Amino acid sequence: MVKVAIYGASGYVGGELLRILLSHSEVEIVAATSKRFSGMPVHKVHPNLRKVCQLSFVEPKVENVINAEVVFTALPHGQSVHIVKTLLDRGLKVIDMGADFRLKDPSSYEKWYGFKHPYPDLLNIAVYGLPELHREDIKRARLVAVPGCMASASILALVPPVKSGIIDESQIFIDAKIGSSGAGSSPTLEGYHPERYSVVRPYKPAGHRHVAEIFQEVSRFAKNRLSIGFSPHAVNMVRGILVTIHTRPTEKPPSLQDLWRCYRAAYDKEPFIRLVRDPTMVHGLPDPKYLIGSNFADIGFEIDLDFNRIILFAAIDNLVKGAAGNAVQCFNIIFNYDEREGLNFPGLHPA
């Protein structure tokens, strides 16, 4: 049994972590922190955990999590950075779900997040927590930086065709759609029900932060200048992300077989990646609706011969493969457990 603590357990990501870890056979949760709800039973905030979780929230203090061997941090960006440093100094392993350790170049924190990173050395030891790309490094990691949700979906769809040289790296346009839980549980005007309900609202159509990590990870496989356009949209879902990526072939259009081959080579052995392309079926391309609560990432593709386009799709649950589930997958890798432990929930149909 590994003792774990969750720092920031009252949020949406923290709640999903609790749900997943409570069914993990090798985990004992020793602390779940919240300042606002300290002393209150966890189920008062996460009603789905009534009669499942007997814990009460404790104050977010290092002394309250120090009994753990691993701390999962699920805090707003800029809030983890000093806490993670302290936990690492005390000999704990940290799996951070915020953005404070995802980027390798310290100067990118000023550009994308508006703060000077106080511990650039830690960016060298942090492992970008996408198992499909960094499994071997995750095994030895003291600090895992779990990817951003829209970044995860985009990277998983892009890396195989970029690696195979099938798509023109200078022409990549990502259209992302995301549900409201992606913005966290703090009330905002944008998220207020009359403002949020029924929207299809573009936001940050240029300069969204996730493009920095997509660029960082995909450029490791690019042979030429990589250019990525990324435009997210808030849509009328609570959970889920669909990215639709418009690209062009490098030379003559590949066949569908070429695309199948490149994705199969990358993902056939991956426990959480499914290739979804069956034009005869109503569920013939990825749809986040059927991924709610699951750690799967569904990937699909299409070729548009008339207009020389290749279209890639990826769907995930932003709170699971996009955050808490992926974090648990990394935890399983570090401790050499079956990667699927705690993550067997297949989603719902109909949902």
| Segment interacting with ligand NAP, rule: CB under 6 A, options 10-18, 195-203, 292-300, 338-346 | 10-18
Closest CA to 156 of 35, 50, 296: 296
Quickly count: other Cβ atoms within 10 Å of residue 86's Cβ: 12
Quickly tell me which residue has 């995301």 as its tokens.
178
Omega of the bond leading into 194 within 30 degrees of 0 (cis): no
- The yes or no reply on residue 10 touching ligand NAP (CB under 6 A) is yes
Measured distance CA(151)–CA(212) in Å, rounded = 9
The span from the CA of 100 to the CA of 105, in Å, is: 12
Q: Quick one: 14 or 232, whose CB is closer to ligand NAP?
A: 14
Q: Is 181 in the site for ligand NAP (CB under 6 A)?
A: yes
- Contact call for residue 12 and ligand NAP (CB under 6 A): yes
What tokens were used for 179?
């549900």
Q: Mark residues 123-162: x for contact with ligand NAP by CB under 6 A, - for none.
A: -------------------------xx-------------
Catalytic residue, candidates 53, 149, 262, 330: 149
Segment near ligand NAP (CB under 6 A); pick from 4-12, 61-69, 259-267, 269-277: 4-12
Residue length, the chain?
351
Give the residue with the Cβ less far from ligand NAP, 214 or 259: 214
Residues 6, 147: Cα–Cα separation, whole Å: 17
Of 295 and 318, CB closest to ligand NAP: 318
Per the CB < 8 A criterion, the answer to whether 82 and 55 are in contact is no
Residue 282 beta carbon to ligand NAP: minimum distance, rounded to whole angstroms: 27
The C-alpha atoms of residue 4 and residue 249 are separated, in whole angstroms, by 46
Residue 14 touching ligand NAP (CB under 6 A)? yes
* Residue number, 60 or 160, with CB nearest to ligand NAP: 60
* Residue 184 binds ligand NAP, judged by CB under 6 A: yes
Report the C-alpha gap between 170 and 138 in whole angstroms.
Answer: 30
Question: Do 97 and 18 contact (CB within 8 A), yes or no?
Answer: no
In this structure, what is the dihedral angle of CA atoms 279, 284, 287, 291, given to the nearest 10 degrees? -170
Annotated catalytic residue 53: no
> Does 11 participate in binding ligand NAP (rule CB under 6 A)?
yes
Give me the residue label for tokens 């983890």.
80
Q: Does 35 bind ligand NAP (CB under 6 A)?
A: yes
Q: Is 329 in the site for ligand NAP (CB under 6 A)?
A: no
Q: Which stretch binds ligand NAP (CB under 6 A): 7-15, 63-71, 192-200, 219-227?
A: 7-15
Looking only at the bridges linking them, the beta strands covering 200-202 and 167-178 are unpaired
List the 309-316 sheet strands across, edge first. Answer: 200-202, 228-235, 167-178, 241-249, 309-316, 297-304, 273-275
- 205-244: contacts with ligand NAP (CB under 6 A): none
Question: Residues 40, 50, 76, 190: which binds ligand NAP (CB under 6 A)?
Answer: 76
**Segment near ligand NAP (CB under 6 A); pick from 183-191, 223-231, 262-270, 294-302:** 183-191
Q: Does 336 bind ligand NAP (CB under 6 A)?
A: no
What separation, in Å, do the N-terminal and C-terminal C-alpha atoms of the chain show?
Answer: 34
Q: How far is the CB of 10 from ligand NAP (least distance, A)?
A: 4
Closest CA to 246 of 299, 179, 167, 315: 167
Site stretch for ligand NAP (CB under 6 A), options 75-83, 192-200, 210-218, 281-289: 75-83
Q: Residue 13 interacts with ligand NAP (CB under 6 A)? A: yes
Q: Which residues bind ligand NAP (CB under 6 A)?
A: 8-14, 34-37, 60, 74-77, 79, 97-99, 148-149, 181-182, 184-186, 318-319, 322-323
